[in-house]
Amino acid sequence: MKTYQPKASDIDRRWILVDAAGQNLGRLATQVAGLLRGKGKPLFVPHRDVGDFVVVINAEKVAVTGKKMRQKTYYHHSQYPGGIKGVSLGKMLNETPERVVEKAVRGMLPKTKLGDALFTKLKVYAGSAHPHAAQRPVAVAAAH
């Protein structure tokens, strides 16, 4: 018996369209991260990039529960003393809603070179318009 290892020619990449309107941020991020990794495919292996390209539209209409709009804060540091800065989820959702979805999905991917490669296949847009019509993305039903 030998363990099957998929070759690059075996990997069939699709373009998948996910509508974020009304979906909870965390549940949407887990669904997208699974699609990027290819976890639903029969040839999934944890050390290879076998996932699909994912286009997320309507990022500005993503939903969160509780008091997260005010209380959830994204921090970053300038590497200078006292250089920590924080932005609330509500403010980031108003200014750059794409970054909210990107940060949620990136946090669920591996923290390795593989995770970096997977993240490049994610395309997020605030509205319903996107430039990937030529790839004919397949719409995926929300997994509620």
H or E element that contains 77: strand 73-77
> What is each CA distance from 3 to 6, 7, 41, 77, in whole angstroms?
10, 13, 16, 44
**pLDDT band at 1; cut points 50, 70, 90:** confident
Q: CA 43, CA 83: separation in Å to the nearest integer?
A: 45
Q: What is the mean pLDDT of residues 4-9?
A: 90
Question: According to the CATH classification, is domain 13-61+99-139 in 3.90.1180.10?
Answer: yes
**pLDDT band at 141; cut points 50, 70, 90:** confident
56 contacts 16 by C-beta, under 8 angstroms: no
H or E element that contains 55: strand 53-57
pTM: 0.92
Domain boundaries, the chain: 13-61+99-139
pLDDT digits (tens, 9 = 90+) for 46-85: 999 999 999 999 999 999 999 999 999 999 999 999 999 9
Instruction: Tell me the two tokens of residue 56.
Output: 């997320």
pLDDT digits (tens, 9 = 90+) for 91-136: 999 999 999 999 999 999 999 999 999 999 999 999 999 999 999 9
